[in-house]
Amino acid sequence: MASRQQLKQQAREERQRQEAEASRAARARALRLRLLGTLGAAVAVLAAVFAISATGSRTASQAEPGGGGGEFAFAVGNPGPGAPAPAMRLPSTTGKTYDLLERRGKTVLLYFQEGLGCQPCWDQIKDLEKRPEQLRSLGIDEMVSVTTNDLENLRQKARDEGIKTPVLADPDLAVSEAYAANQYGMMGTSADGHSFIVVGPDGKIRHRADYGGAPNYTMYVPVETLVADIRTGLGRSAGA
């Protein structure tokens, strides 16, 4: 039987291995991002030339499917505002099972993100935790994050980052696919992108912003920009 010291050493080695794998994955993603960005810029130029030739007046801002503008433009995926939020019952880093149906009567912000290899995604959670009044000002009662990683690694990552926000494990992509959140990431459809979805007290989606789509992949949105976009989206849904 291994001694306590041996077990600790094995745990340290396993953690170092995971961190090395995450680092390699992050570097590979960064390289893909640069390559895709270059290709995307060329495609965007050709598309703009075609659009101007075809209409004589259409601009890039008019072509944006969602909003946000500039560097933090976003798409609005399906299901979108007004649609019932798909069921969500997933294990959480808090040790409990998170059931969205049990949150009826509350306004919930769902944050779908890329997971372990995306440090900016975790920085996003930490920055929102530092400024809870920003979400409260929007009438949001709680936030949860969803990734396609396994629960044990997510628990370790949450501990390492000092994160209190529940992070939900969706390794088989059942929930991610139901929300089409895996359509906006750098890893094809095998992981989520950078999507924020507000579910109202009645269980319907009130706002959706998918920031992670091609060609301008986004893994972090400044809190002020995110809050402003959500406020605008909630205003639209209230006036609908």
pLDDT band at 28 (very low <50, low <70, confident <90, very high): low
Among 63-67, 113-117, 154-158, 189-193, where is mean pLDDT lowest?
63-67
Angle at which helix 223-239 crosses helix 119-130, to 10 degrees, equals 70
CB 97 within 8 A of CB 206: no
What pLDDT, in 10s, does the model give residues 53-109?
A: 332 322 222 223 566 556 789 999 999 999 999 999 999 999 999 999 999 999 999
Q: Give pLDDT, residue 51.
A: 32
* pLDDT tier at 45, thresholds 50, 70, 90: very low
Contacts of 34 (CB under 8 A, 6+ apart): none
Q: Which residue has the tokens 């998918």?
A: 210
Q: In the chain, what are the domain boundaries?
A: 64-239
Concatenate the DSSP letters of all residues of 113-160 into one string: ---TT-HHHHHHHHHHHH-HHHHHTTT--EEEEEESS-HHHHHHHHHH
Q: Give the count of alpha carbons within 13 A of 125, CB side only.
A: 27
Pick the closest to residue 108 from 230, 211, 240, 194 (CA basis): 230
What's the CATH superfamily of 64-239? Glutaredoxin (3.40.30.10)
- Nearest by Cα to 179 from 40, 76, 62, 26: 76
Indicate whether this model's pTM tops 0.75: no
